Amino acid sequence: MRLLKVATCNLNQWAMDYDCNMNNIKESIARAKEAGAVIRLGPELEITGYGCEDHFLELDTVNHAWECLKELLVGDWTDGILCSFGMPVIKGSERYNCQIICMNRKIIMIRPKMWLANDGNYRELRWFTAWKQRDQLVDFQLPNEISETLSQESVPFGYGYIQFLDTAVAAEICEELFTPSPPHAELALNGVEVFMNASGSHHQLRKLDIRLRAFIDATHTRGGVYMYSNHQGCDGGRLYYDGCASVVVNGDVIAQGSQFSLKDVEVVIAQIDLEAVASLRGSISSFQEQASCKTRVPFVEARYNLCQSFNLKMCLSSPLKIKYHSPEEEIAFGPACWLWDYLRRSGASGFLLPLSGGADSSSVAAIVGCMCQLVVKEIANGDEQIKADAIRIGQYKNGQYPTDSNEFAKRVFYTVFMGSENSSEATKSRAKVLADEIGAWHLDVPIDGVVSALLSLFQTVTGKRPKYKVDGGSNSENLGLQNIQARIRMVLAFMFASLLPWVHNKPGFYLVLGSSNVDEALRGYLTKYDCSAADINPIGSISKQDLRAFLRWAATHLSYASLADIEAAPPTAELEPIRSNYSQLDEVDMGMTYEELSVYGRMRKIFRCGPMSMFKNLCYRWGAKLTPGEVAEKVKHFFKYYSINRHKMTVLTPSYHAESYSPEDNRFDLRQFVYNARWPYQFRKIDHLVRELGGDRVHLGDSSDQDKLVDAPHGAGGMGVVAAGSGNPNVGL
Task: Show which residues are catalytic.
Answer: 44, 113, 174, 356
The three state secondary structure string of 516-558 is CCHHHHHHCCCCCCCCCCCCEECCCCCCHHHHHHHHHHHHHHC
- Say if CB 3 and CB 275 are below 8 A apart: no
| C-alpha pair distances (Å), 32 with each of 27, 137, 267 | 9, 30, 7
Three-state DSSP state, 82: strand
Q: How many residues does the chain have?
A: 733
Question: How far is Cα 570 from Cα 568, in angstroms, rounded to an integer?
Answer: 7
Residue 197, strand partner residues? 228
User: Rg for the chain (alpha carbons), in Å?
Assistant: 29
Count other Cβ atoms within 10 Å, centred on residue 58: 12
- Say if CB 520 and CB 663 are below 8 A apart: no
- Say if CB 508 and CB 501 are below 8 A apart: yes
Three-state DSSP state, 33: helix
- Say if CB 82 and CB 135 are below 8 A apart: no
Question: How far is Cα 541 from Cα 655, in angstroms, rounded to an integer?
Answer: 7
Question: How far is Cα 120 from Cα 69, in angstroms, rounded to an integer?
Answer: 31
- Say if CB 312 and CB 320 are below 8 A apart: no
Burial of residue 304 (CB within 10 Å: 0-12, 13-18, 19+) is middle
Residue 5, strand partner residues? 271
| C-alpha pair distances (Å), 54 with each of 59, 129, 481 | 11, 14, 42
Phi/psi of residue 385, nearest 5 degrees: -65, -45
Sequence letter at residue 653: T
Residue 194, strand partner residues? 169, 225
Smallest CA-to-CA distance from 606 within 667, 524, 661, 556 is with 661
